[in-house]
Amino acid sequence: MSLRHFLAPTLAGGMMVSVLFAQETKPKTASKEEEGRYRSALLFANVVELIRDDYLQPEKTDYDQLTYSALRGLLSSLDPHSQFLDPENYAMIRTETEGQFGGLGISVGMVDNQLTVNVPIQGGPAFRAGLMPGDRIFKIDGKGIQKLTMTEAIRKLRGRPGSTVTLTLFRPTEGRTWEVPLVREVIQVPTLADVGLLPAGLTGGEKIGYLRITQFGEKTAAEFDQAMDRLGKEGAVALVMDLRDNPGGLVDSAVELVSRFVPPRTLVTATVGRQGAAARSEYLAEGTARRVQWPTVVLVNGNSASAAEIVAGALQDLGRAVVVGELTFGKGSVQTVQAISAPVTPAVGVRLTTAHYTTPSGRKIHGVGIQPDITARMTSAEEKALYESRSPGLRKSGQATAEVVDEPLERAVDVLRGWKVVARRTAPAR
């Protein structure tokens, strides 16, 4: 018996739930899975009909809208990244051109059920205005967003380049609430920053190169090559690669970067789905003209996520870098967007978590994070001072006045100086 046959009496009659369950009979030969599917579909149909019959405001009982609301709750109950895509959201995902939207330059997520700034992208409007990781967004243009999904809130943050949006924010570390108007821009920000030799006073005269990757985009590998050329010309013989506050980005870009450190066809990361090994996909290093031979330290913190964790975990597993800092965020799941195969117009879809990433040795990243080889932490005040030192807007306004104490960077330099000492002392023996 088909699902339509099961539901027809309910949809046509609009009877009470108790009567319906008493009257309906399930197939005698049905499997447990089929019985579960039957019960679930019948329960949903009965509740929808009860709402349509008795709810006080009939204008809110459209079949499509009730179904969409139920599916939003269903998908969001699975994990923070799965979601139902109604026609508007599904069309937006299908037609959106990467990097060509008007936005504020922030990565956001849900923390304690509140929309929270993960990382402002360096150079973007939010960064220039002084927004920091951990800031909570309570209102957009004066309207509360508690009832919005994260996707709906993000859609309100985006808009026509040149248009203004006002955010109401709360900073837990300071206990203050404030409003800030921001002008949307087309977000096309270089993914590398602060390339150069570290100060001789910090390195004891050793020429140690430094670069910070703010996110992983299509041009990251090319920008990395240019940065390494520059550092090489300046005499660098070791490297600190800073992935702190890097929210991730394109996995293919992360694989490209790791390819600069390891031989071709080396396993960089893998995805494992519900069927385990049968659903495993591998990402292998590409052949590149550049092979980085310098001793390397990767800096991470609790805001290093996704593609940044893939890079740190791969270089750690493959023995190509020492990881220094704090346990990373632990975002290593794979979401796929799938159209719903049903007679629905306009089209709808779902974004569903279908797999998780592992490091080359098979370590799971999602919900676990990458544990550094050397733990080095910063206080909230030190993190704030470091962040403000990078913000030209705060420097110009005189707000960024605290001295920057960067213990993770100091530990990275210690590692690389020790590495050089060992290399010098063992060179004659070779």
Among this protein's residues, is 317 annotated catalytic? yes
Among this protein's residues, is 86 annotated catalytic? no
Q: Is 280 helix (H, G, I), strand (E, B) or coil?
A: strand
Length of the chain: 430
Q: What Cα–Cα distance (Å) separates residue 62 from each residue in 3, 10, 71?
A: 21, 17, 14
State residue 64 phi and psi, 5-degree precision.
-60, -45
Q: How far apart are CA 126 and CA 350, in angstroms?
A: 30
**Residues 255, 283: contact at Cβ < 8 Å?**
yes
Q: Is 12 helix (H, G, I), strand (E, B) or coil?
A: helix
- Helix segments in 306-365, DSSP class H: 307-317
User: Which is catalytic among the residues 331, 333, 391, 406?
Assistant: 331
Neighbouring C-beta atoms of residue 19, cutoff 10 Å? 12
User: Which is catalytic among the residues 317, 333, 384, 391?
Assistant: 317
Q: What one-character-per-residue DSSP string does 152-207 give? A: HHHHHH-BSTT-EEEEEEEETTTTEEEEEEEE-EE----SEEEEEEPPHHHHTT--
User: Which is catalytic among the residues 107, 259, 306, 333?
Assistant: 306
Residue 363 one-letter amino acid:
R
**Residues 341, 295: contact at Cβ < 8 Å?**
no
The first and second tokens of residue 389, run together, are 């030192």
Q: How far apart are CA 146 and CA 170, in angstroms?
A: 14
The residue among 139, 141, 148 whose CA lies nearest residue 170 is 139
State residue 226 phi and psi, 5-degree precision.
-65, -40
**Residues 197, 213: contact at Cβ < 8 Å?**
no
Strand partners, 241: 211, 298
Strand partners, 355: 273, 334
State residue 413 phi and psi, 5-degree precision.
-65, -40
Among this protein's residues, is 163 annotated catalytic? no
Residues 6+ apart with CB under 8 A from 297: 239, 240, 241, 321, 322, 323, 324, 412, 415, 416
Among all residues, which ones are annotated catalytic? 306, 317, 331
